[in-house]
Amino acid sequence: MAATEPRARVAGSLSGRLALATCALVTITSSATAADRDWSVDGSWLSYSEADDRVSVNKALVDLERRSEAHTVGVSLIHDTMSGASPTGAIRDESGQITFTGASGSDGFPAADSGHDGSLAQFDDARTQAGVAVQSELSRTVDMKYGAVVSQESDYDSFGGNAGVARSSADQNTTLDVGVAATFDTIYRSGSGDTPEPLGDASDSQSFGKGRRNTFDGLIGVTRVLNRRTVLQVNLGVGGSSGYHSDPYKVISAVDDEGRLIANPTAPAGAPPAAAKRFTAAA
């Protein structure tokens, strides 16, 4: 089973730059007063919706920036919400019924008791993020960049920081960049604040504390201006991540070659066929 990829938490990747074909985007740009004219403020609002009460997204973004002779300071504030319904992909049992569970197997109920056929599942989430980025000119040939970002959802918290130095040659044609970044994530089930037992029986699994993941990245790069029309850039990056890399909501169904649900192969001998047919994901 493949582990899920960490959700991006850096300013600029914001919600994966959702497909904007049917989005309504309003951008407002204002200038500060004469006394504070070094500050600039950009704001945007995005709204995306699908027919039949499917996915709906609303996102508000405010960017503030101040430039001085040697420093540039940027602050970003984001709040977005996502709600609607998504296909469950659930597999029906031999009776033709889908039995639903909550987060990773908790609070199960038959689809017949939920008032719908089990093809869709409702979801609702919100995210608040704040970030700051600073660029300082230490000398004519040396710049330093550093920043931090914090993000919070109902089931995911993240904090990250980065720092880098860029040194240019005397003729400004060659630049060497070196940078490091670290991200610290906390993953858990909404409401319960825990994570399930890896590959445990979804109907009777244990619960553990919040999952934590630490990620560290490094980058070194060289940029060279060859002529008026050509720039050569070479970057080398390395990264490592440790901790919880799964999804606390993931449930796995065991099926045979014909796609029929089968019992948990680790279930006790003599267990009924319907026992333990869904398992929580591995951590």
Are the C-beta atoms of residues 119 and 265 closer than 8 Å to each other? no
pLDDT digits (tens, 9 = 90+) for 20-40: 332 333 333 344 444 445 789
Q: What is the DSSP track for 179-233? A: EEEEEEEEE--TTT--EEPTT-BTTS--EE--EEEEEEEEEEEEEEEEETTEEEE
Q: Is the pLDDT of residue 116 over 90?
A: no
Percentage of the chain with pLDDT > 70?
A: 63
The whole model's pTM is what?
A: 0.69
Q: Phi and psi for 177 in degrees, rounded to 5?
A: -115, 135
Check whether 141 has a pLDDT greater than 80.
yes
130 band by pLDDT with thresholds 50, 70 and 90: very high
Position 205 scores a pLDDT of 73
Q: Report the percent of the chain where pLDDT is more than 90.
A: 44
Domain spans, the chain: 14-280
Per-residue model confidence as pLDDT tens digits over 251-274: 776 666 766 666 545 545 554 444
Average pLDDT of 90-112? Answer: 55
Which pLDDT does position 242 carry in this prediction? 95
